[in-house]
Structure 1
Amino acid sequence: MQLERAAIGRGLGAAVPALDLIVDGPLPVVVAVQTDERPLLVSMLLAGRIRCDSGRVLVDGRDDADELRRRSALVDTPIVAEPTAGIALKTIVAEEFSFAGLPTSGRAVRAFLADHNLAEYASLPVRSLLPADRIRVLCELAVLRAGVDGIIVTSPERHGGEPSQWFGPLADLAERGVTVTVVTDYATAAILVSLGARDGALPEPEVPELSSPTDSLESDPQ
């Protein structure tokens, strides 16, 4: 996914100034933003939920908002994808199973929570989860939906906890082939980059080509 000068609004009053981002690769990608409303707007841009007023949002090199929506899931995004704090975790799991077309029986929900070491939280409100567990389970639920291969996690720092504690589950998902984007503040973004995430505002690092033994022999002046 790529944003090319994508903006919402214009000039000094733009809600989202022009952004150039590359979101791809085997590492979680961080997008650092400022202001209270901008994380929501940038997340929705990345997921194809809203269109930019100028610039482009590309998926596999194409301007295709429908495909972007099909392949992307917003995770814990305030207002649009944030579970109500007082709802029991098992209810949230059942709802996500329904969206994914999976059985929503109590047995299926209990099995999922047991597999993720969260069985004891089944009847507790989602606000009781530790930040790392919250992020992990909501991400795992999001990727159950058919066709979803990218997630956008919005402002995870607002729940507290050390970024080092909840970065691991995101890195694991990225290693499994899921495109993981974290929209966060500048301080948290710097910490995540130090932990191994990639800054989406920077070009992807070039991977040097490995020379073969025959290349070495051909270049040998003997």
Structure 2
Amino acid sequence: MLTTHQLHIDGRRHTLLPATTLEARRAEVLLVQAEGQERRTALALALTGRMKPTTGTVAMGHDDSMASLRRRSAIVDSPDVNAPEHHLTVRSLAAEDLALVPQKFRDRTRPTEWLVKNGFRDILEKWIEEVDPGRLLHLQLELALANKDVDIVVIDSPDRHTANDENWLPLLEQLADGNMGRGPDTHADTPPRPLTVVAVVGRFPDGWEGAAETAGNAMAVPAPLPPSLPTPLPTTTDDDGLPPGPDDTGGLDGGEPGTEPLETVEQLDTEPNRAPEPDACDVPDVNEEELPPAQGAGTQNAKEGEER
């Protein structure tokens, strides 16, 4: 079983791999979705002990030794790492990969014989760019299994070659079940060789119901912010620093402190042209004895005749 805990890798200018925790079991295919080719390759290298993580751990069972992980794992078809170059022939690819197998076996230095025995006679003389992607992936998986110490196989971005998942997913399931790597020299009584298989992909295949994880799944989630409270209104203060009292508010009309309230409509004079009635106290007192006697109508007429 292959496990990682908070596996994190920093690059020169940015994070290559955010914190990732996963568990891959024997005889099953684990798909790990990661954004970007750099991130997928960094994860594939770390899972096979070929890149040291900045923080976190990766272990095979209870063994966290990077040397043991490198010895018992294989990385397949990783761009700029060990992906087959197009200028090579199939024979040249087989010769290079077989030469890196640490154990000695009969066809280690005879790539042509190995290709024929393992069913690749039809593409023996072809260039890498001429081989169907599914067929080329099958060849790389068989070459990885030539190393009998391998228990973990990590495939880097198998979905980058084709949009058809049937070209690579059944091969990985066959690899995990232990039904691959059984050449014609394998004895009939030899038990299957189930493996731990991890594929780092750009997207999950449609309808995939197997084991699946996402790179960065162990990133710390920020705590939710507390609910915002209403902003209190500013409070005015008197010169002494205390809030204003009820007598300083300027009355019910909301005026400034210390001002008189405005008159209402009922208080306004609706007949401004009418002279004000004099007050009783403003009339001077007159003595009736000092008044001249009233003249009658006859006396007034006599005076008018004399004037004529």
TM-score, scaled relative to structure 2: 0.59
Uncovered stretches (5+) of structure 2, i.e. residues with no partner: 179-193, 215-308
Shift of 1:27: 1.6
Residue of structure 2 in register with 1:44 after alignment: 45
In structure 2, give the amino acid aligned to 1:168. P
Matched, 1:94 2:95: yes
The alignment-based identity, stated in percent, is: 23
Uncovered stretches (5+) of structure 1, i.e. residues with no partner: 202-222
Shift of 1:158: 1.7
Shift of 1:13: 3.8
Query: Out of 185, 194, 200, which is 2:202 matched to?
Result: 185
CA separation of 1:13/1:77 partners in 2, compared to 1, >3 Å: closer, same or farther? same
In structure 1, give the amino acid aligned to 2:146. L
Root-mean-square deviation (CA), in Å? 2.2
Shift of 1:165: 2.4
In structure 1, give the amino acid aligned to 2:23. I
1:49–1:69 CA contact under 8 A, matched in 2: yes
Give the number of the structure whose alpha-carbon radius of gyration is greater.
Answer: 2
Shift of 1:146: 3.4
In structure 1, give the amino acid aligned to 2:130. S
CA distance in 2, matches of 1:46, 1:75: 12
Residue of structure 2 in register with 1:123 after alignment: 125
CA distance in 2, matches of 1:132, 1:197: 21
Matched, 1:198 2:186: no
2:7–2:21 CA contact under 8 A, matched in 1: yes
Shift of 1:104: 4.4
Larger helix fraction of residues: 1
CA distance in 2, matches of 1:196, 1:172: 16
**1:110-148: CA deviations, max 9, x gaps?**
343334442121111112111111111101101111311
Structural mapping, 1:66-215, within 5 Å: 66-100=67-101, 101-102=104-105, 103-104=107-108, 108-160=110-162, 162-176=164-178, 177-186=194-203, 189-191=204-206, 194-195=207-208, 197-200=210-213
**1:29-58: CA deviations, max 9, x gaps?**
111100231111000000000111111111
CA separation of 1:109/1:13 partners in 2, compared to 1, >3 Å: closer, same or farther? closer
2:159–2:168 CA contact under 8 A, matched in 1: no
Residue of structure 1 in register with 2:235 after alignment: none
CA distance in 1, matches of 2:130, 2:208: 26
The secondary structure found in structure 1 opposite 2:22 is strand
Structure 1 runs of 4+ off > 6 angstroms? none
1:70–1:148 CA contact under 8 A, matched in 2: yes
The secondary structure found in structure 1 opposite 2:26 is coil
1:136–1:170 CA contact under 8 A, matched in 2: no
Residue of structure 1 in register with 2:266 after alignment: none
Aligned residues: 195
Shift of 1:15: 1.4
The secondary structure found in structure 1 opposite 2:168 is helix
Larger relative contact order (C-alpha < 8 A, sep ≥ 6)? 1
